[in-house]
Amino acid sequence: MTESVSLISPRGYCAGVDRAIETVERLLRERGAPVYVRGEIVHNQYVVKTLAGKGAVFVETPEEAPEGSVIVLSAHGSAPDIYERCAARDLEVIDATCPLVSKVHAEVRRYAGKGATVLLVGHAEHDEVIGTRGEAPERVIVVEDVAQAEAVQVPDPDNVALTTQTTLSLDDTAEIIAVLKRRFPALQSPASSDICYATQNRQDAVKAAVEATAAELFLVVGSQNSSNSQRLVEVARAGGAESHLIDGVGDLDPSWLDHHPRVALTAGASAPEVLVREVLDYLETRGYSRTGNEVPTDEGVVFALPPQVR
């Protein structure tokens, strides 16, 4: 059988990631180094190392940035106390929070303002969930799985609301949400899903590729702490394919290719296309011919940069 690698699209950068990275790069060009960034601007090791090489300084807390300096807040969103701590140090805040994450923050504020208990479906230790929960910590309960959905208790079952982490799998959240709706018939929820367009589009593309390409091996380029990349691996495995998450070609175990003449290749929403191309080049040296979509993404979504860098 002829060996082939199918490029899946859409893959790679979403509009929110593109906006966050461009924000830091533009600040470095226009104001010069150093530019301080709280947390990883996006969850990708290559991106973080590349920006650090250009003069970005990544810090965990606002207190690590010199008073009066510029600080960029990451795409994952930050809790209100972070803004307060930045103000206390007279830091100029450039907010690179993804607008879709900002939407979830606004939902939490609105529901909590009405006295509701907010059930936030997501991974408790993920940066996005930590920031979202920080909008109303006394009113937000994180629900990570079906078991927790079955067990969670709220003060007033008639005043309870739902939000979700943006980078989850729609299939996984559907089961959790179904339990919550059964247990809390009065559950309020936003008019549209909190799961972002890019997360959903990439998962749908993997599902379709599992069926259409008959690929036995799915390689997902992305870092281990990238939630949306992890979900792509899970979607491929759920479809019956072997799948691995790799930061780049250096993580590719050649033994994975044994007895797998059909490979599919994609990337999480925070992974640059250059890493995909390196994996593709390696596969070609192993005799794999390339098929699929050369264009990473054509989703037609663009988010305006923060006003300070437009």
Tell me the DSSP string of 172-222: HHHHHHHHHHHH-TT-B--SS-SS-HHHHHHHHHHHHHHHHT--SEEEEES
The answer to whether 128 is a known catalytic residue is yes
Per 3-state DSSP, the chain is made up of helix, strand and coil in percentages (nearest 5) of: 45, 20, 40
Closest CA to 160 of 181, 191, 187: 187
Amino acid code (one letter) for 168: L
- Supply φ then ψ for residue 138, to 5 degrees: -80, -10
Considering the candidates 128, 150, 242, 273, report the single residue annotated as catalytic: 128
Residues 6+ apart with CB under 8 A from 212: none
- For residue 73, list its beta bridge partners: 38, 95
What are the structure tokens assigned to 146, written together? Answer: 């079906």
H or E element in which residue 67 lies: none
CA terminus-to-terminus distance, the chain: 52
Q: Do 159 and 116 form a contact (C-beta atoms < 8 A)?
A: yes
3-class secondary structure, 247: coil
Closest CA to 147 of 121, 167, 127: 121
Closest CA to 169 of 239, 115, 108, 84: 239
Active-site amino acid positions: 128
